[in-house]
Chains A and B, each alone.
Chain A
Amino acid sequence: MASNKNTKNLAQSAKKLRILLIDENTHRAEIVTSALGNSRYEISHLASPSGTLLRQVDQLQPDIIVIDIESPSRDILESLHTIKNIDPKPVVMFSSEEDTDTINQSIESGVSAYVVGDLEPHRVKPILDAAVARFREFQKLKTELSDTKQQLNSRKNIDQAKRILMKNRNISEDQAFHTMRKTAMDTGQKLDDVAKTIISMFNSL
């Protein structure tokens, strides 16, 4: 499953970026679509999303969702993460009002969404370029954070497994560590996985 996903991602990187545009204004949607004619973006337009939006997101797997901030459907996107546990998709919201900067400041931190001004044809491409760059940066930070967490967890597991071995076999910390490392090398597993096995075996005794 995981490797499948990786190949898919690799293939995608060479491909166009998929944009799902949610806009009840069909005329504006046409202008936006034609403004992106010869670019790295491939756009799908949804005029009245209501019930079909979740299905669309699922089928299309868009790289970015672009939506009118006044659209009722924004609440559906908002729920993707909280209720459905779907990884949040980058969302660009556009607004014809003048207060976009202030709104932006308040939603900025931690949410992978942001507000731009009105979708004028000549601005569409630079807006999406900026959005892509920004979301990638955000994603990178998130990955780094989860890597750090992962490392901390794995250190905790190894320490716990060492203590179990030391107590049960009456050996030193060094010996316990060597035993685990040898098992890992012999079986081609990660040290963290060996530690987890020891912990779960001990727990089930």
Chain B
Amino acid sequence: MMKLEKTQLTLGFSPLTDCAPFVVAKNLGYFEHWGLDVTLQKQNSWATLRDKLHAGVLDAAQMLAPMPIASTLGLGVAPIHVVTPMVLSQNGNGITLSEALVQELLSVNKIFQLEFPLDAKLLKNVIDYRIQHNKSKLSFATVFPYSCHHYQLKDWLLSGGITFDDVNISVVPPINMVDTMLSGDIDGFCVGGPWNAKAVRGSFGATVVTSSDIWQDCPEKVLGFLSSFVETNPNTVLAVCAALKQACIWLDSVPNRFETAVMMSQQGFLGEPLEVITPSLLGSCLTQAKLSPRSVPSYNQFSTTVDGNDVNNPDVEYGQWLLQKIQSSGQTPDGIETNGCIERIYRSDIYAQIAPLLEKLD
């Protein structure tokens, strides 16, 4: 067993379906097994989670995949070097349109039923119709400026010839997403589970596309540490990664995923019932009330993709891809130096040290 530099840790997570690896590692005793005494701290705001990690109040945190890059480059915050030694999940987001917008979409396009994944060109027709008839712009929400959600919504709209200038874009916390749509303030959103399923169960909207329809297999949540923490506590970092990797492997099995959904609903991790949490974990995308769910086997991926690839390796290529998305969204100020930064943030070299540790277990 490695000698751990620090054993008592506080880990921050966001109450979403893809916090599953944290729930599993805690409930199945994986953290304990690696000699760690972990306190899980639920965080309601990404900005606050980030600030607490930066301040060292949290030792590690579940972050949106672009966040370590934003932190290191100092986007929206004072720059501090954050690294990710491990990806925690891929995909998991969906775009849901309000029931009113769905009706408008059907009538403008003179169709009777939506086909999934929805072609964004049909939405473009609605936007053109609204311009011709002097009606207001459509409004969409994502969860954070530096999130896959933001770039996925942008890319999906672009696939239909719609730019962010053609719509209103705002940020709404996931937990308030469905209510905000009900209040009429937004016409659609891009969010992670369980909030798309919640909207469909309540007959408030239709989930027309999932993130894996937009980008195939991209990191969604990653494990973030301060670089300074990694330098002073290298073995502790490996132990946390090993425990979470074990949890991710356990989550590859569908029966285990159902058990995870039960843990999450019973222990109040998400504050939502089983019928809302379970579908995406089982590869089912609820589409619209009274319509059949759609099979999306890669909806949530934790350890191995449907094609047999490793989900958890923080490959530099993913980091580069996300940096490109950040840049093409105009979120990097002029003159900011990005050359070589991803290699220092997406750290496959640390991840590579976990497999030998797990092999010793068998």
A residues whose Cβ falls under 8 Å from a Cβ of B:
50-52, 54-55, 69-79, 81-84, 97, 99, 102-111
Known contacts A71-B44, A103-B51, A106-B51; A76 and B171 CB within 8 A of each other: yes
Contact B55 A106 (CB under 8 A): yes
Listed A/B pairs (30) with beta-carbon separation below 8 Å: A50-B179, A51-B176, A51-B186, A55-B185, A70-B44, A72-B173, A72-B175, A73-B173, A74-B47, A74-B48, A75-B46, A75-B47, A75-B143, A75-B171, A76-B173, A78-B45, A78-B46, A78-B47, A79-B171, A81-B76, A82-B75, A82-B76, A82-B145, A82-B331, A83-B169, A99-B52, A106-B55, A106-B78, A109-B78, A111-B77
Give chain B residues whose Cβ lies under 8 Å from the Cβ of A83. 145, 169-171
Q: Which residues of A contact B145 (CB under 8 A)?
A: 78-79, 82-83
Q: Which residues of A contact B57 (CB under 8 A)?
A: 97, 99, 102-103
A84 to B169: give the CA distance in the assembly, Å. Answer: 8
Q: Decide if A75 touches B144 in the complex (CB within 8 Å).
A: yes
| CB neighbours of B175 from chain A (8 A) | 72
Assembled-state Cα–Cα distance A147/B176 (Å): 41
- Interface pair B51/A52, CB less than 8 Å apart: no
Q: Which of B55, B169, B173 contacts A103 (CB 8 A)?
A: B55
Q: Is B80's CB under 8 angstroms from A106's CB?
A: yes
Does B170 lie within 8 Å of A84, measured CB to CB?
yes
Give A90 Cβ to nearest chain B Cβ, in Å: 16
- CB-CB under 8 A from B186, the residues of chain A are 51
Q: Is B180 located at the chain interface by the 8 A CB criterion?
A: yes
Chain B contacts for A52, CB-based, 8 A = 183, 185
Q: Is the CB of A75 within 8 A of B173?
A: yes
Bound complex: CA A77 to CA B173 (Å): 11
Per-position binary interface string of chain B over residues 123-162, scored 1 when its CB falls under 8 Å from any chain A CB and 0 otherwise: 0000000000000000000011100000000000000000
Instruction: Find the residue from B51, B54, B56, B185 having the highest chain A CB count within 10 A.
Output: B51
Q: Does B101 contact A (CB under 8 A)?
A: no
* Proximity bits, B35-63, A CB within 8 Å = 1, else 0: 00000000111111001101111000000
Interface of B is mostly: loop
Q: Is B172 an interface residue (CB 8 A)?
A: yes
Chain A residues, CB < 8 A from B76:
78, 81-82
Total contacts A-B at CB 8 Å: 100
A108 to B183 Cα, complex, angstroms: 35
Give the contact-size bracket for chain B.
20 to 34
CB-defined contacts of A72 to chain B, threshold 8 Å? 44-45, 173-176
Cβ–Cβ < 8 Å partners of B180 in chain A: 50-51
In the bound complex, how far is the Cα of B175 from the Cα of A111, in angstroms?
A: 26
Q: How far is the CB of B88 from chain A (nearest CB, A)?
A: 20
Q: Pick the contact of A111: B56, B78, B144 (CB < 8 A).
A: B78
Q: Name, among B80, B143, B185, the residue most crowded by chain A CB atoms within 10 Å (CB to CB).
A: B185
- Partner pick for A50 among B44, B54, B143, B172, CB 8 A cutoff: B172
Closest to B53 in A: A106
Q: Which residues of B contact A109 (CB under 8 A)?
A: 78
For B183, list chain A residues within 8 Å (CB): 50-52
- Determine whether the beta carbon of B51 is less than 8 Å from that of A107: yes
Residues of A within 8 A of B80 (CB): 106
How far apart are the CA atoms of A52 and B180 in the complex, in Å?
Answer: 8
The chain A residue sitting closest to B169, CB to CB, is A83
**Please, which residue of chain A has its CB at the minimum distance from the CB of B186?**
A51
Min CB–CB distance A68 → chain B (angstroms): 9
CA–CA, A39 and B268, complex, Å: 42
Q: What is the distance, in angstroms, from A130's C-beta to the closest C-beta of chain B?
A: 20
Please judge, given known A-B contacts A69-B48, A74-B47, A82-B76, whether A99 and B172 are in contact too, CB under 8 Å: no
Quote the shortest CB–CB distance from A92 to chain B (angstroms). Answer: 14
* B42: nearest chain-A partner, CB-CB: A70
Task: Give the residues in chain A near B176, CB-CB below 8 Å.
Answer: 50-51, 72-73
- Distance A103 CA – B56 CA, assembled complex (angstroms): 8
Say how far A23's CB is from chain B's closest CB, in angstroms: 13
Q: In the complex the two chains form, what is the Cα distance from A72 to B191 in whole Å?
A: 14
Q: Assuming A78-B171, A79-B145, what are 5 further A-B pairs, CB within 8 angstroms?
A: A69-B48, A73-B45, A74-B47, A82-B331, A107-B77
Task: Look across to chain A and name the residue whose beta carbon is closest to the beta carbon of B174.
Answer: A72
